[in-house]
Amino acid sequence: MVAFLGMGLLGSSFVRAMINKGLQVQVWNRTASRATALEAYGAKAFENAADAVKGADRIYLTLKDDASVDEVLAAASAGLKPGAIIIDHTTTSAEGSVQRTRAWKERGFVYQHAPVFMGPANALEGTGNILVSGDQELISQLEPELAPFTGKVLNFGPEPGKAAAIKLMGNLFLVTFTAGLSDMLSLCKALNIKMEEVYSLFNAWNPGAQVVPRLKRLTSGTYDQPSWELNMSRKDTQLFMNAAKENGTQLAVIPAIAEEMDRWIAKGHGSQDWTVIAKDNIPS
């Protein structure tokens, strides 16, 4: 029997998937109606977290942040069964993940952070990715349990907090990607480009295939054989901003990128590949 704390869109979908696979699930949520709604699918809802976790071998969490995880686990602690394992799918700080791993071990319990790249539909269908790191013996034990609820369990090694860090990196990419798409749509609006024309382009041209090659170019440390000079990419960036301004549309992300380009041009890198702007940011 398992307990699940946090019945947002993701948690609710996880619970339904668990019930579909034959698990008995006890649930709790701060807004009680979200937990009781899962009783229609076979879950058992509780008014407080301590009661929800009683008798559970596994306690799953999908909450908001570090503070909410700490608060809910503190509230649930009185009901924890000896030997229970806490599996936290919440996106949190790496520092918080490390601290909780250590603190719960000192209290005689196991805490495993397992953030996810999964939306509600993925959780319900068992697709997407679960990220783990830390105690490799524990992960070997848990992986067969986690695998049915995801497309893949990605193990980033023995360092606690590494999975949390990787999750933050991935989310930064998603935020940047989405904000860039928003700016692109602003330019489409300014230039009277219709959505069917946008889809026509991206159905034929897949820039996503360039992510790994672009990362390799960014981190190569060699920028003297440009495929797109920084001066030229900056020129195009100005064209974006001019078109938007002339048509009363605001760009959110591109002006900051233009400032960074100008900084590197001022340092004498204008004739190099524009990926030189990442030169100072490459991890060791």
The predicted structure's pLDDT at residue 157: 98
The predicted structure's pLDDT at residue 284: 76
Beta carbons of 91 and 64 less than 8 angstroms apart: no
Q: Active-site residue among 44, 167, 189, 267?
A: 167
The predicted structure's pLDDT at residue 275: 95
Beta carbons of 58 and 26 less than 8 angstroms apart: no
Tokens of 70: 């700490």
Please check the confidence at residue 166 and state whether its pLDDT lies above 80. Answer: yes
The predicted structure's pLDDT at residue 164: 98
Tokens of 279: 């030169």
The predicted structure's pLDDT at residue 78: 97
pLDDT in tens, 19-52: 999 999 999 999 999 999 999 999 999 999 999 9
Cα–Cα distance measured from residue 93 to residue 104, given in angstroms and rounded to the nearest whole number: 17
The predicted structure's pLDDT at residue 67: 98
Beta carbons of 98 and 160 less than 8 angstroms apart: yes
Please check the confidence at residue 267 and state whether its pLDDT lies above 90. Answer: yes
| Structural element, H or E, at residue 44 | strand 44-45
The predicted structure's pLDDT at residue 136: 98
pLDDT in tens, 111-156: 999 999 999 999 999 999 999 999 999 999 999 999 999 989 999 9
The verdict on whether 64 is a catalytic residue reads no
Ordered alpha helix ranges (H), 84-161:
94-106, 120-125, 136-146
Please check the confidence at residue 95 and state whether its pLDDT lies above 90. Answer: yes
Q: What is the mean pLDDT of the chain?
A: 96
pTM, to two decimals:
0.93
Residue 88 DSSP class: E
Structural domains of the chain sorted by starting position, each given as residue range(s) with its CATH number in brackets? 2-160 (3.40.50.720), 192-278 (1.10.1040.10)
Could you tell me what percent of the chain has a pLDDT over 70? Answer: 100
Cα–Cα distance measured from residue 151 to residue 146, given in angstroms and rounded to the nearest whole number: 10
Please check the confidence at residue 75 and state whether its pLDDT lies above 80. Answer: yes
Q: How confident is the model at residue 223 (pLDDT cuts 50, 70, 90)?
A: very high
Half-sphere CA count of 172, side-chain side, radius 13 A: 7
